[in-house]
Chain A
Amino acid sequence: QVHLAESGGGLVKPGGSLRLSCATSGFTFSDYYMNWIRQAPGKGLEWLSYISSRDNLVSYADSVRGRLTISRDNAKNSLYLQMENLRAEDTAVYYCATSPTHAGHFDFWGQGTLVTVSS
């Protein structure tokens, strides 16, 4: 069955960097758009970025553009998120999620990885 597993979260100081990974299995990874979505403690869902299935088209939310970089490796069935210049407000659970089409819905989600930005 479909499985997504995020990793790479942890405690980082303000201004620091972190790289999140999302390992996937159970579906044809290269057929799907992939997304990063986060949820701050006690708050709602915030979409961050998507990357297209094969031609690496990307889009970012205004709140993170310039500090986050999404990438994927279709040979490894994996998705990545490089985060730079982290701020306290970036503290959240970060989810990866699949989309079967551009501008569609998110049909499968990972369980998330917690990023805490604190000194």
Chain B
Amino acid sequence: SYVLTQPPSLSVAPGSTARISCGGDNIGTKSVHWYQQKAGQAPVSVIYYDNVRPSGIPERFSASNSGNTATLTIARVEAGDEADYYCQVWDTKNDNCVFGSGTTVTVL
């Protein structure tokens, strides 16, 4: 089955840029979606179809997808961005959804 690999954690200073990677075999040929999950809350979509922001998501959130790596970028990080972030794709071979293992972003 298809596997997505994310770094377990990332620490960033306020005002800096966070880049969260999501690795997968030829992931650049797939549509990648990203979710933010704050402590004790349900996940929220922050990017879909590689780089589309849902309404209400700040422009500071962007993403790219090429080759074997997709990346979620959070510019000008704020304390409120502290959360777990998950990438997600669809494995069309078995019609199943696949989530990455998640990255915990800590704002120093």
Chain A contacts to B: CB under 8 angstroms? 35, 44-47, 50, 59, 61-62, 95, 103-107, 109-112
- The residue on B at minimum CB distance from A60 is B96
Contact between chains at A62 and B45 (CB < 8 Å): no
Contact between chains at B95 and A109 (CB < 8 Å): no
Contact between chains at B45 and A107 (CB < 8 Å): yes
Identify which of B31, B41, B90, B98 gathers the most chain A CB atoms within 10 Å of its CB.
Answer: B90
Chain B contacts to A: CB under 8 angstroms? 1, 31, 33, 35, 37, 41-45, 48-49, 54, 84, 86, 88, 90, 92, 94-102
- Kindly list chain A residues whose C-beta atoms are within 8 Å of the C-beta of B92: 103
Determine how close the nearest CB of chain B comes to the CB of A101; give it in whole angstroms. 10
9 CB < 8 A contacts A-B? A44-B100, A47-B99, A105-B48, A105-B49, A106-B43, A107-B45, A107-B48, A110-B42, A111-B41
User: Known interface pairs A50-B97, A59-B96, A107-B54. Does A44 touch B44 (Cβ–Cβ under 8 Å)?
Assistant: no
CA distance A26 to B69 in the complex (A): 36
Contact between chains at A106 and B35 (CB < 8 Å): yes
- The residue on B at minimum CB distance from A50 is B97
CA distance A107 to B55 in the complex (A): 11
- The residue on B at minimum CB distance from A61 is B96
